[in-house]
Amino acid sequence: AQTVTQSQPEMSVQEAETVTLSCTYDTSENNYYLFWYKQPPSRQMILVIRQEAYKQQNATENRFSVNFQKAAKSFSLKISDSQLGDTAMYFCAFMKQGGSEKLVFGKGTKLTVNP
Amino acid sequence: GAGVSQSPSNKVTEKGKDVELRCDPISGHTALYWYRQSLGQGLEFLIYFQGNSAPDKSGLPSDRFSAERTGGSVSTLTIQRTQQEDSAVYLCASSTRGLRYEQYFGPGTRLTVT
């Protein structure tokens, strides 16, 4: 079974600064995807960024980028130029390719961006 | 287009009662997932539907939980004889067959069992 660990229950950052959220995972699979989801107080889960395990290049989406270290099974999220609207819970998730392709989530990191 | 919708948004029920939670996936999405988000367990997978295939029920926590998907579209999650530990947010997600890694989530139903 796969497990996802987020070791930082809470983090805070000043507006316009950069913050990095950590995630590690455990799997014996070779083909999988990794995700970061954002959940604001509205409860809506929003996909922030996705990484395919077979790709060596780290994914980037505007101010969001990841540091994917496959051998270390690490998948951190960097948020640059933090904005107040980035305040939310952030969940790291794993999906094995094939089968039902369900998401396995970490416990989440509560990020607060301070003005 | 319309996203995934869920109803009701909030549900309060008494212990022992049955509840039904509804999910309307994005039109054309053949895959549908239910997840549960609770304080103690975090986010956990419950059940997966894909077209006419047999559902993957491996995440259902007990036989009090069941789900069905009618006509390959709307899904209903039923919890019988609710217990206080069933209190949680129930999230539904859908995706297309070829892009199952892109799951779109609904806003969830917050269930409170008193």
For A101-114, the pLDDT digits (tens) are: 899 999 999 999 99
Contact B33 A33 (CB under 8 A): no
Contact B102 A50 (CB under 8 A): yes
Q: How many CB atoms lie within 10 A of CB B74?
A: 14
DSSP assigned state of B99: G
DSSP assigned state of A62: T
Match 């304080």 to its residue by tokens: B39
pLDDT tens digits along A61-71 = 999 999 999 99
φ, ψ at B85 (rounded to 5°) = -70, -10
Distance CA B19, CA A2 (A): 31
Which chain A residues touch B if contact means CB-CB below 8 Å? 33, 35, 42-47, 50, 91, 95, 99-108
Contact B101 A43 (CB under 8 A): no
Q: Which two tokens stand for residue B61?
A: 């926590």
Cis peptide before A9 (omega within 30 of 0): no
One-letter amino acid at B61 equals P
Distance CA A13, CA B42 (A): 24
Percent of chain A scoring above 70 in pLDDT: 100
* Residue A60, strand partner residues: A65
Q: Which of A33, A102, A107 sits opposite B33 (nearest CB)?
A: A102
pLDDT tens digits along A73-97 = 999 999 999 999 999 999 999 999 8
| C-alpha distance from residue B100 to each of A24, B44, B93 (Å) | 22, 17, 10
Contact A102 B91 (CB under 8 A): no
Percent of chain B scoring above 90 in pLDDT: 79
Distance CA B85, CA A83 (A): 36
* Residue A94, strand partner residues: A34, A104
Residue B12: partners with Cβ closer than 8 Å, 6 or more residues away: B112, B114
Q: Which of B50, B59, B107 sits opposite A44 (nearest CB)?
A: B107
Question: What pLDDT shows up at residue A92?
Answer: 97
DSSP assigned state of B81: S
Distance CA B104, CA B72 (A): 17
- Positive or negative torsion for Cα A47, A53, A55, A56: positive
